[in-house]
Amino acid sequence: MFLETILSMIQRSSVLFSIISERLSDYVFYTVQLGDTPFPLIVLFFMATGIYFSLYFRLINVFGLPHAFRLLVQKSLAKSDTKGDMSHFQALTTALSGTVGLGSIGGVAVAIAVGGPGTLVWIILAGFLAMPIKMTECALGVMHRQTLANGTVAGGPMYFLEKGLKAYHWPKLGRFLGRFYAMGILICAFGIGATFQSNQISHQLAFVMHWDLESGGVLFGIGCSIAFVVALVILGGIKNIGRVAEKLVPFMIIFYLLTAFIIIFWKIRLLPQALALIWQDAWSVKSASGGALGAVVIGFQRAIFTNEAGVGSAAIAHSAAKTADPIDQGIISLMEPFLATMIVCSTTALLLTVTLILPGHALPTEAGVRLTSQAFANYYPWLLYPLSIVIFLFGFTTILAWSYYGQIGWQYLFGFGAYHTKLYQLFFCCMVAIGGILSLQAVLQFSDALLFLISVPNLFGCLLFAHQLKPSLVQKISPKIKVADVQTLDL
């Protein structure tokens, strides 16, 4: 009786949450009419920023990738006395765990269901333009990070906004934007990190085990189990999260890609038709999303949700890396949009096209990650079980990463005391527990809106302070060029 009362209260709150999400989304995604298609101004802002940084940093999203690979294969980039809490690889995998999560599987499935297969073209373009944005915010995060009294470090947009604007003699503006960002990343941690991931894991497990998907008790029970496992890890702090991420993230990405490629190879005769359909649909005025321009909007929104470039969240993870060179860490972060969006998202979209769209199966937008599961199950039903383990790992590692992002935001606002930290962790785990019974559409809508909203101060800081990175960055990529010869743009 008590449990039923609690579940009823949560579900009634979910209705109110849906209304709030819709209102917030209307404000954040304020649109202008371009032809017959409503185009959100904030998406246009992302596109313009990505193009600007691509040109300003001399196509770092192309020429920086080889250097990023070289840095990753080195055993160590830091001396033993270098400040930081994680290795470079741990920082990368922690940030990747926050991006190559269920958004790369379930979120892309929703985008394809709504916008058609052509959305993939715009997702890839968005991933390409996201790379220099990601590099800028992560390098600035390391450059302006703060060393705490206990020897650990903390960084992210809230710190480079506050410190950078203080140097420009705008301390009040810097403090305000820092607090605004910290509050936003904290709420996003509860939405994207806790509830959305828990929601998708719970529904996937219930789907595979043939449990009642309409039963709030079943989904709540799964959520509580996830929350318990999460608590065991996050109570150990960022070092524990980094150790878990470096072991799980490479395994889950490789396993997912290999199994997806096996199925795509099995349907190899449909591959040319699928690629042609994707390209034609990207430019089709008959697209289900409202034409080609509508597909652009959906593609960019989904890509940002999956790679989080411009949001600044990854800068928090990279700021914890043991490094004395912010530029190297920024270059390493180029790998995140490349892997999360251009590789994993593309694979998911191609898989859905050859297994579901071409055979004529319906793609319900509410299904999320279950669409991808269906693509696997249609050909190899036994793959549902190992895939469910991988989906759990995708969601689980994303929860871990976002728990840290939210914790840094919480500590920035309320202090670094042990009591404050434990209180945050308790509340975070409670949000994980109830995630399964919340409305997926409401969680996605609310998370999308907040991600884009907090990206505004982050991108403002990136544009303002990008000139601090350019001389060293260009010399890294082109050693023959002298720092004095690099023309910088002081915004």
For range 47-51, the mean pLDDT: 90
- 9 vs 29: CA distance, rounded Å: 30
pLDDT in tens, 186-196: 988 888 788 87
For range 432-457, the mean pLDDT: 75
Give the pLDDT band (50/70/90) at residue 450: confident
Of 112-116, 147-151, 219-223, 364-368, minimum mean pLDDT range: 364-368
Give the pLDDT band (50/70/90) at residue 85: low
Check residue 178 and give its pLDDT.
93
Q: For residue 6, how many C-alpha atoms fall within 13 Å in the half-sphere facing its CB?
A: 10
110: nearest Cα among 465, 466, 352: 352
Residue 491 has pLDDT above 50, yes or no: no
- The H-or-E segment that residue 34 falls in is strand 31-34
Check residue 35 and give its pLDDT.
65
> What does residue 58 show for φ and ψ, rounded to 5 degrees?
55, 50
User: Strand ranges (DSSP E) for 77-193?
Assistant: 146-147, 153-154
Burial of 478 (0-12, 13-18, 19+ CB in 10 A): exposed
For range 373-382, the mean pLDDT: 72
Check residue 17 and give its pLDDT.
59
CATH code at 41-56+82-464:
1.20.1740.10
The token pair at 189 is 């941690």
What residues contact 64, with CB distance under 8 A and at least 6 apart? Answer: 57, 131, 135, 331, 334, 477
Considering Cα of 151, then 157, then 161, then 162, what sign does the dihedral take?
negative
Give the pLDDT band (50/70/90) at residue 442: low
Of 1-5, 135-139, 164-168, minimum mean pLDDT range: 1-5
- 276 vs 274: CA distance, rounded Å: 5
Check residue 488 and give its pLDDT.
46
What residues contact 272, with CB distance under 8 A and at least 6 apart? Answer: none
Check residue 138 and give its pLDDT.
92
Check residue 73 and give its pLDDT.
73
For range 142-169, the mean pLDDT: 86
- 300 vs 297: CA distance, rounded Å: 5
- 181 vs 161: CA distance, rounded Å: 9
Check residue 489 and give its pLDDT.
41
Of 8-22, 143-157, 307-321, 395-409, minimum mean pLDDT range: 8-22
- The H-or-E segment that residue 214 falls in is none
Residue 49 has pLDDT above 70, yes or no: yes
Check residue 490 and give its pLDDT.
42
Residue 291 has pLDDT above 60, yes or no: no
CB atoms within 10 A of CB 85: 19
Residues 468/491, Cβ–Cβ less than 8 Å? no
Alpha helices in 216-312 (DSSP H): 216-234, 237-266, 271-282, 292-307
pLDDT in tens, 208-238: 776 665 666 677 788 888 888 888 888 877 7
For range 238-252, the mean pLDDT: 84
Residue 179 has pLDDT above 90, yes or no: yes
Packed helices 119-143 and 106-115: angle between N→C axes, nearest 10 degrees: 140
Q: What angle is formed at CA 66 by the lines to CA 61 and CA 68, rounded to 5 degrees? A: 80
CB atoms within 10 A of CB 75: 6
Higher-confidence residue: 390 or 457?
457
Higher-confidence residue: 131 or 288?
131
pLDDT in tens, 89-98: 888 888 887 7
DSSP H helix total and E strand total for the chain = 23, 4
